[in-house]
Structure formats: structure tokens, C-alpha cells
Amino acid sequence: MQSLEPYLAEHPFLKGMEKRHIELLVGCAANVRFDEGQYIFREGDEAKTFYFIRHGKLALEVFRPQKGPLVIQTLQPGDVVGWSWLFPPHFRHFDCRAVELTRAIALDGTCVRDKCEEDHQLGYEIMKRFAHLMGHELLALRLQLLDVYGEHA
Amino acid sequence: MENTLNNTTAQQGHAVGAMVPRPHVIKRVRRDTKDTFTIELVGAENPTGMFFSPGQFNMLYAFGAGEIPVSISGDPTKTKRLIHTVRVVGPVTRALRVLKAGDTIGVRGPYGTPWPVEKAEGSDVVLVAGGIGLAAIRPALYYLLANRNKYGKIALLYGTRTPADILYRSELESWRGRFDLEVDVTVDRGDSSWWGNVGVVPMLIPRAQFDPLSAVAMMCGPEIMMRFSVMALRKQGLTTDNIYVSMERNMKCAIGLCGHCQYGGRFVCKDGPVFAFDSIVDLFNKREI
């Protein structure tokens, strides 16, 4: 069976990470695929995993009663989906749907958390990368909130 | 003293001619989105049309309502019909919106500095447009595609509010089908029918295919969007002398006389609207301007 190590090492999120840390993560990783329209998780689900997208496109949605889902962000190859596995109470905040056939590497959150507890250097590397990702997404969200194309912008 | 007077008189003479709108007949009006429409005009006195460079603008005069600056959004090689896409935001644009084929408006122009399409020859080109800013970028894209072999990779990155606000949708779809052009579109808010990206334009920049060491970026949209897009381009390695922005200010005379569009020591109507970013970098983040 082919190892997922090269796929993890190639993913932009893990760029520059030491080989020994990648090897630790491989033990928590699984190759997954989602068909178009398939929901990967729903708001309120337990957040057990996060995903490194390799191909395809995912949409994060929030459901509005009587109006249906609203897409708040789309995610593409190179992106990471899911932070809720990092922090208690480990519940999903949004729905995530495959817009098209999507291939990803799923990481078991509990497994990664345990390895981070055992190896704080790995933990620091993971936290640094997630902090950067959160900062990046917070910036994008703030720009979206500005509604720069709106009538009163 | 005499020289000064002569110069002033000459300048005023030029100004008077430049201030006279020429009648143009509306040949077609197309509604693009809920608040934008495109008008096609033919000069009543000059049926051969108007020569312009991509990035320039005209002053459109709705009789009895007033005059506004609007980017020329048509193909610079097709001069017979003058094309303007207008967003309805005030009394003049509301007056323009109710006009129909056969009606006449006044047109002055073209004015302003063009996109650096010649400077960009031999380079990759990144076009970044937000909202109605796509109208000002479109003539540059027409030019680039008409001279495709002179450029490296070309990317058009376009963002708008919602899928319903996408301008020139069918044209964007046709551009997307080309092998020699990368088109990426994003909206701030999607719905379940939307298959494209949801997110802001600056986030498209790291994904675009271009060589930052040999690329020229041309950008038009809300200033906030441009500020963050400039940051994203610089993060990719583009230098400020290769980034061009189209600025918008309250342009009235269009020839640098009235001062309404003063931008530091410059006038947007005369020295712009297209500026090399390094020439205005000190003004760009100045809150008083």
C-alpha cells in the first residue's frame, strides 16, 4: 500500500515541516474522497477530523431557516478544512459540502492531539500553522464583512 | 507677464473646447445586473467613432441631470460604438438608466491615462477587478487578447458581491473556456446554486499562475479591495513599479482645472485614473486624502 507521506509533505500547509513530524502525522492520516453534493460534516457534529484538500472543491455553508444554505467560503486544493478538532468542545460550526468530486487526506484529530501532547515540538509546528491559517481567514472574513461592493461602501 | 497671459489664454481656449459635450445617440441599452447597465453610443456628428486607449474614461452628460465620469468599457479596436457600463448610484446615473435607444446624451472625452498594455509586452499580466471595476479592466483584456502573442500568462481575477452581481457573465464564461487565459471569479456571498469560489479577491492572488519577477498587475475596484490586493501581490513578490491601479475621485472638469479630484499633488482626471502604484504609494494609505 502506498504511503501518504509524500502527499502530506507536498501539501502547502505542511511545507517545511521536518520529516520526522510528517512521519508522525502519517500515522493519523487516511485517504478519502467525497462525491459531488456529499456532506462531509454538518453543524453540531462532533469534530473528529480535519482535511487537507488535494483535488476538488468544498463549500462551508450555514443553513438559514426558510431560505436554505448560504455558502460562506469555498476551499480548494492546498486548503485545510476544520479547526474544531483542536479546541473543546470539538463540535462543528458549519456544514461542509463537496461542490465537486473532492479528494483529501483526513487526519484523525484525537490522534494528532495525542501526538502533539507527546511531542511539543510537533504541537508547536501544528499550532503555528493553524494560527497562521486562522489569521489569514480572519482577514478574509473581515474583508467580506466590509461589503466593499455594497451600495454604501 | 505677457507669456503667462498668453499661456493662460491658450489653456482657457483648450479648456473651452474640451468642456463641450458632443451629442451621441444611444443605439442599445442592456441591463447587466440589478444596478448596472451598459449603453452603446454612436457619435451624432462623428459616426467613425472615438479612438481611445484601454483605461480611459468619458464624461457622460444626461441633459437636465448632470455629468459624470464613466470608464470606457468597450473594445479599443472597435471604435464605431462607444460602450459604457454604468452603476446606478446617484441622480445622473438614474437619469441615464431610464434612457432608451434613440435618445441622445452628451459625451466629452476620452480623458485620462491608459493601462500600461505596451509596457507589459513580454510579461505575464494579472488583471484584478472588483465589482464595477471590471468595466474599466475589460478594454485592457480585449487589447491583450487581440495581441495575445506579445504577452506571457494572462490571469483575470474578479470578485463581486453575489452571483447575481456578476458583470459580463456570458463573456466571463467564454473567456474561461480559453486555453490561453486564466479566469478566476469569486463572490463575497454565495448560494446553493453557485458553483464558484466564495471569498474575497485578494485570496485569489496566491492561486493565480504568474511569474512575480516578470509580471505586471492592473487593478480596478473599491480602494479597500485594491489595498489588500496590493498587499497580496507584494507578498507574491511583485514590485510596486509593476502594479497599476485605477483610482476614483470626484472628477468634474476632467482636464485638471477644477481641482475636485485632487489627489495629493495630482489630479486623478489628468494624471490618472491609472497610476503606477509606486507613484502614489505615499498617498494610498493617507487617510486625509
What does the alpha-carbon distance between residue B191 and residue A62 come to, in Å, rounded to a whole number?
10
3-class DSSP string for chain B: CHHHHHHHHHHHHHHHHHCCCEEEEEEEEEEEECCEEEEEEEECCCCCCCCCCCCCEEEEEECCCEEEEEEECCCCCCCCCEEEEEECCCHHHHHHHCCCCCCEEEEEEEECECCCCCCCCCCEEEEEEECCHHHHHHHHHHHHHHCHHHCCCEEEEEEECCHHHCCCHHHHHHHHCCCCCEEEEEECCCCCCCCCEECCHHHHHHHCCCCHHHEEEEEECCHHHHHHHHHHHHHHCCCHHHEEEECCCCCCCCCCCCCCCEECCEEHHHHCEEEEHHHHHHHHCCCCC
Whether A149 is covered by a domain: the verdict is no
Whether A145 is covered by a domain: the verdict is no
| Test mutation, B158, B186, B195, B229, chain A, max A CBs within 10 A | B195
Q: Which of B35, B190, B228 sits opposite A71 (nearest CB)?
A: B190
Q: For residue A97, give the CATH number of its domain.
A: 2.60.120.10
Is the minimum CB–CB distance between A140 and chain B shorter than 8 Å? yes
The confidence score (pLDDT) of residue B8 equals 38
Q: How many domains does chain A have?
A: 1
Whether A48 is covered by a domain: the verdict is yes
Is the minimum CB–CB distance between A62 and chain B shorter than 8 Å? no
Whether A147 is covered by a domain: the verdict is no
Report chain B residues whose CB lies below 8 A from the CB of A63: none
B36 burial class (0-12, 13-18, 19+ CB within 10 angstroms)? Answer: buried
What does the alpha-carbon distance between residue A128 and residue A124 come to, in Å, rounded to a whole number?
6
Q: Which structural domains are found in chain B, ordered by start?
A: 14-111 (2.40.30.10), 124-246 (3.40.50.80)
What does the alpha-carbon distance between residue A16 and residue A13 come to, in Å, rounded to a whole number?
9
Q: Is the pLDDT of residue A142 over 70?
A: yes
With a cut of 50, which residues of chain B have pLDDT below it? 1-14
pLDDT band at A152 (very low <50, low <70, confident <90, very high): low
Whether A44 is covered by a domain: the verdict is yes
Grid coordinates belonging to A67:
431560505
Angle at CA A137, nearest 5°, toward A135 and A140?
115
What does the alpha-carbon distance between residue B53 and residue B61 come to, in Å, rounded to a whole number?
21
Report chain B residues whose CB lies below 8 A from the CB of A76: 197, 207
What does the alpha-carbon distance between residue B70 and residue B61 come to, in Å, rounded to a whole number?
10
User: DSSP character for A46?
Assistant: B
Whether A81 is covered by a domain: the verdict is yes
Grid coordinates belonging to B181:
487565459
Report chain A residues whose CB lies below 8 A from the CB of B131: 148-149
Tell me the mean pLDDT in the region A7-18.
Answer: 93
**Bridge-partner residues for B33, per DSSP?**
B36
The confidence score (pLDDT) of residue B10 equals 38
Is B170 in contact with B200 (CB distance < 8 Å)? Answer: no
Q: Which amino acid is at B258?
A: C
- Chain A, residues 100-129, CB within 8 A of chain B, namely 100
Number of H helices, E strands in chain A: 4, 8
Write the pLDDT tens digit of every residue in A62-115: 988 877 888 889 999 999 999 999 999 999 999 999 999 999 999 999 999 999
* Strands across the sheet containing B154-160: B197-198, B182-187, B154-160, B124-130, B215-220, B243-246, B274-276
**Shortest alpha-carbon distance between residue A135 and chain B (Å):** 13
Task: Report yes or no on whether pTM surpasses 0.90.
Answer: no
What does the alpha-carbon distance between residue B287 and residue B82 come to, in Å, rounded to a whole number?
36
Write the pLDDT tens digit of every residue in A16-62: 999 999 999 999 999 999 999 999 999 999 999 999 999 999 999 99
By percentage, how much of chain B surpasses pLDDT 70?
93
Residue B266's φ and ψ, nearest 5 degrees, are -120, 165
* Residues contacting residue B1 through CB under 8 Å, at least 6 positions apart: none
Is B269 in contact with B256 (CB distance < 8 Å)? Answer: yes
Q: What are the angstrom distances between the C-alpha of B9 and each of B4, B13, B82, B85, B190?
A: 9, 6, 32, 36, 56
* Residues contacting residue B283 through CB under 8 Å, at least 6 positions apart: B263, B264, B289
- Pick B16 or A132 by higher pLDDT: A132
What does the alpha-carbon distance between residue B205 and residue B53 come to, in Å, rounded to a whole number?
26
What does the alpha-carbon distance between residue B199 and residue A101 come to, in Å, rounded to a whole number?
20
Report chain A residues whose CB lies below 8 A from the CB of B200: 140, 143-144
Q: Domain containing A76: what range? A: 5-139
Collapsed DSSP state (helix, strand, coil) of residue A105:
strand
pLDDT band at A1 (very low <50, low <70, confident <90, very high): low
Residue B174's φ and ψ, nearest 5 degrees, are -70, -40
User: DSSP character for A67?
Assistant: T
Is B167 in contact with B134 (CB distance < 8 Å)? Answer: yes
